[in-house]
Amino acid sequence: MNETISVLIVDDSALVRKALTNLLDGDPDIQVLAAAPDPLFAERYLRKRWPDVIVLDLEMPRMDGMTFLRKIMRERPTPVVVCSSLTQNGTQTSLHALAAGAVGTFAKPTSGIRNFFASDGHDLVDLVKASAGANLEPLARSHSTPHQEDVSRPDRPPVEHGAAGPGVGRVVLIGASTGGIQAIETVLRALPATAPPIAIVQHMPPQFTSALAARLDHVCAVSVKEAEPGDWLQPGQALIAPGGKHLALAQSGARYTVDITDTEPVNRHKPSVDVLFRSAARLGGGPGFLALLLTGMGTDGAKGLLSLKLTRARTIVQDEKSCVVFGMPREAVRLKAAGRILPLSGMSRAILAFASARS
C-alpha cells in the first residue's frame, strides 16, 4: 500500500492507548493520528480529520463502544477494528460489534498489556492494514439483517451431540478469516436443518469461538457447536474449530470424526484452514467433499484447497465483490485451487446442490 494508513485509537485505558500507539506508529505504513480516552473525545477529533481505520474499545465510560460504532456506521461507514478484553462479556459484545459492521476483532488481555503487544502485536498491525482496504459493502448488508437479539432459532429436529449417527456421505468444509463472522452466518442461516455435515475454521482467539457457536446456534436451523475431541460429523450440524486449537478430520469406518490439537500455528494461525482442508485430502478427498474458502486476509487455506481439488473434491472461493477482504480467496485463485468462484449469496445454494447431487 503506497499511502500511509491513518488510525484513530479509542480506549479508556491510558496504558492501552500508549501501547497501541507505540505498536502501530512503529510500522512505516501506519500513522496514529490521535488516541482518545472515550467516544466523546473521539467525536471532537473527527470534526477535524477522519482516519482510514478506527481501533475501538467497547467498554468505556460516557459512551460505550457499541453506541459509537453504530453512530459511525450510520453517519460515515469506516473500517473499525474492535480491540476487546478476553472476558466473557467482552467476547459477546465483540460479536455484536461484528454484526453491527466492525471489520474485525482483536483480543487483548486484562493484564500484561505491554509485553502482550510487544510479542503478539503483529497480528493487530496486519488486521489494521487489511481493514484499511476492506470492502464495507458486505458489512453494510449484514448490518441491515436481523441479529441474535431479535431472531428466534428456527424449529429443528434434535441433534445428539457426540453421538455416532449413520455413515456420512457428503461433508462441507468452510474456511474464513476477516469478515468471516458475517459471511458464515449468511451461509448457515440459509441452510435447512437437513443440511450435510459442516466443519468450520474461522480465525478467532480462544473464548470467542464458543460465543460465536452459541450465537449461530440461536439463529440457524442447523445445530452449531464448538467442536470437541471425538465429535462426529453428522447431518444437520456444524462444528466450529475452537479458538487457539487446530481442527482436523479423522475417519472411523464409514464415519468422520474430529481431532482437536494444540500444535504450532500454521500460516501464523491456530486454528488454520489449511490444517482442516489438508486433513480431508489425506482421507482421500474426492467428490464427497465440498470446500468453501471465504473472505479473509493472508493466504491460509489456499494450498489446502488445492490439495483437495487435486483429489477431485469440489472447491469454491468467494468472489472479490462480496468479500470484505479478498486475500485468501485471491491466493486460491492464483494457485488455480478454485473449481468455482461465487458470490456469498450463492454459497448456500451450492451447498444444497452438492447435497442432492448423485455423483
Which amino acids are annotated catalytic? Answer: 177, 203, 300
SS3 (DSSP) at 68: helix
CA distance 233 to 236: 9
Q: Which amino acid is at 247?
A: L
SS3 (DSSP) at 292: strand
Residue 15 CB coordination number (10 Å): 10
* Residue 152 CB contacts under 8 Å (≥ 6 apart), including other chains: none
SS3 (DSSP) at 345: helix
Cα 57 to chain center, whole Å?
19
Residue 88 burial by Cβ neighbours in a 10 Å radius (0-12, 13-18, 19+): exposed
Question: Is the Cα torsion angle 179, 181, 186, 188 positive or negative in sign?
Answer: positive
Question: Is the Cα torsion angle 250, 256, 261, 266 positive or negative in sign?
Answer: positive
* Residue 321 CB contacts under 8 Å (≥ 6 apart), including other chains: 135, 137, 343
SS3 (DSSP) at 246: strand
